């Protein structure tokens, strides 16, 4: 475990967490939207694929019953669970229902946690999942500590991890009063995605990439996260958050770290996160000149959005990493809603040869490596090949190295299984979270103007000016449907 940020607390609990797997799952917010869309399907996957057989206790407001929770779970599974296993889900569904328990009460009431301790029975090492707003973290952590439910327990919390750097550090200090850092799992479902892990695997399992993965051969990098839908029914949440906090501070910077970090060294369990932390600490904090914010027309009519809101639904960024490997290489990130497609894609653009041997005009971004993260998984290499005929002229082609459907294991299933076993590699660490906030904090809120853009477009025109000669932005090409 690495040291916390310099002004983080030093009074964390001293008892080292047990290496034994968790023997119960407790999820707060059991009747909420996150549980409905993500947690119940993930729990079904754990029961079906990993043989999970520990008590699963849902905690929510009073007024619900166990039967109502089971009905909610069944409806969730019918709407959101994977159909990959066909009728094989029926037995697993029944086993999941048999494992479910329910505790109802107020999170600020000590009696709720007394009931929870009773419901845990003989369980000694529970995993507590806080699928609740961050404003309730303090109440839940305090209730767990006061009832004895925190001893030898693990804690999973959902983003956002604070609203800015100061509040993120305050959250770390709060949690450290009850849980050691090794027992805190800050979940970012992007890190549980198979194609995000595949970035690391492809880089470090193939020796051909390492010699060219640097400033001498790479001219620029683009990362695009596009969504063709709007904020839907999340207007109130989104208007307090915006695109930078919602997806850049976490998802996009984690993708950037996987793409540009140095190889992990040694066998130390924290080696991977150590390298991620070192990379993110080397990213230059953003300046206003490196940011373009946009808002799609019609956003302000969404329920929950403030009149005259200047919150961004689109952002384009230009980043630099202050290391020898990446000095001078611009990295462009854009993320937005109401764009023409829903896809997340990375493109690494290689530099052109030092001179054009065949005296032709070649696009600057002719050679590239393209990594699709969603909705399908694709890795492709762009190269230039000669056209048929006597003339020495060519065309750009792309070789598809792999093209697959989306990963079969749900990200939350993978992450919860890792958390139960105390494996923190795919979770945020306090110094990593602090480094991510350090990068974006100078451009939070209204530091830069917000430009309107038409739904179905690729965002405001100002984003093209940001990328300039390193452009144009590469539009994701979706995998053709297979019959």
Which residue in the list 128, 189, 251, 349 is annotated as catalytic? Answer: 251
Q: Is 78 strand, coil or helix?
A: helix
**Contact (CB, 8 A) for 64 and 102:** yes
Determine which helix (DSSP H) or strand (DSSP E) holds 432, and give its type and residue range: helix 430-440
Of the candidates 230, 292, 228, 281, which has an alpha carbon nearest to the alpha carbon of residue 256?
281
Instruction: Quickly tell me which residue has 């144009």 as its tokens.
Output: 472
Using alpha carbons, select from 99, 108, 132, 126 the residue that is nearest to residue 28.
132
CB distance 112 to 59 below 8 Å: yes
Length of the chain: 483
Contact of 63 with 112, CB cutoff 8 Å: no
- ∠ CA(444), CA(293), CA(225), 5° rounding? 100
In sign, the C-alpha dihedral spanning 309, 451, 238, 279 is negative
Q: End-to-end distance of the chain based on CA atoms, in angstroms?
A: 49
User: Considering only CA atoms, which of 443, 437, 431, 426 is closest in space to residue 162?
Assistant: 437
Token pair, residue 5, equals 């940020």
**Segment holding 243, helix H or strand E:** helix 242-243
What are the helix and strand counts (H, E) for the chain? Answer: 15, 15
251 classed as catalytic:
yes
For β-strands 331-336 and 218-226, DSSP reports them as parallel
The CA distance from 463 to 468, in Å, is 9
What whole-number distance in Å separates Cα of residue 246 and Cα of residue 313?
A: 10
Q: Encoding tokens for residue 193? A: 């995605």
DSSP 259: H
In this structure, the dihedral spanned by the alpha carbons of residues 30, 31, 33 and 35, taken in order and rounded to 10 degrees, is 30
Residue corresponding to tokens 């179905």: 456
Q: For 385, phi and psi rounded to 5 degrees?
A: -130, 155
Q: Which of 218, 273, 227 is nearest to 246 (CA)?
A: 227
Q: Which residues are designated catalytic?
A: 251
């Amino acid at each position: 475990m690495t040291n916390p940020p310099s002004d983080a607390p030093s009074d964390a609990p001293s008892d080292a967490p047990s290496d034994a797997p968790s023997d119960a799952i407790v999820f707060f917010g059991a009747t909420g939207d996150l549980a409905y869309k993500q947690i119940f399907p993930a729990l079904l996957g754990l029961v079906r694929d990993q043989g999970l057989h520990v008590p699963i206790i849902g905690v929510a407001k009073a007024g619900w019953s166990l039967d109502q929770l089971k009905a909610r779970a069944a409806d969730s599974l019918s709407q959101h669970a994977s159909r990959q296993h066909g009728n094989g889900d029926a037995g697993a569904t029944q086993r999941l229902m048999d494992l479910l328990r329910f505790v109802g009460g107020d999170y600020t009431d000590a009696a709720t946690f007394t009931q929870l301790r009773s419901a845990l029975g003989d369980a000694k090492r529970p995993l507590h999942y806080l699928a609740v707003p961050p404003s309730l973290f303090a109440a839940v952590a305090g209730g767990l500590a006061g009832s004895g439910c925190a001893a030898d327990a693990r804690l999973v919390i959902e983003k956002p991890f604070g609203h800015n750097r100061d509040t993120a550090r305050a959250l770390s200090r709060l949690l450290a009063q009850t849980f050691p850092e090794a027992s805190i799992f800050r979940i970012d479902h992007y890190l549980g995605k198979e194609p995000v892990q595949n970035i690391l695997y492809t880089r470090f399992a193939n020796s051909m990439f390492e010699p060219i993965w640097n400033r001498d051969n790479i001219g620029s990098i683009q990362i695009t996260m596009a969504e063709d839908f709007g904020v839907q029914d999340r207007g109130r949440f989104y208007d307090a958050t915006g695109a930078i906090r919602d997806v850049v501070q976490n998802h996009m910077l984690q993708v950037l770290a996987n793409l540009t970090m140095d190889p992990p060294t040694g066998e130390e369990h924290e080696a991977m996160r150590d390298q991620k932390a070192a990379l993110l600490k080397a990213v230059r904090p953003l300046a206003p000149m490196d940011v373009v914010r946009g808002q799609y027309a019609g956003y302000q009519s969404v329920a929950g959005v403030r009149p005259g809101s200047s919150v961004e639904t689109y952002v384009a960024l230009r980043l630099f990493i202050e290391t020898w490997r990446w000095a001078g290489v611009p990295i462009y990130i854009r993320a937005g809603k109401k764009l023409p497609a829903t896809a997340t894609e990375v493109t690494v653009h290689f530099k052109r040869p030092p001179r054009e041997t065949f005296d032709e005009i070649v696009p600057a971004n002719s050679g590239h490596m393209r990594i699709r993260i969603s909705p399908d998984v694709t890795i492709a290499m762009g190269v230039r090949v000669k056209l048929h005929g006597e003339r020495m002229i060519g065309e750009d082609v792309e070789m598809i190295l792999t093209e697959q459907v989306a990963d079969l294991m749900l990200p939350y299933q993978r992450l919860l299984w890792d958390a139960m076993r105390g494996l923190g590699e795919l979770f945020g660490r306090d110094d990593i979270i602090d480094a991510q906030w350090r990068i974006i904090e100078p451009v939070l809120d209204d530091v830069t103007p917000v430009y309107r853009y038409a739904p179905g477009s690729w965002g405001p025109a100002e984003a093209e000016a940001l990328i300039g000669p390193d452009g144009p932005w590469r539009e994701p090409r979706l995998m053709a449907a297979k019959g």
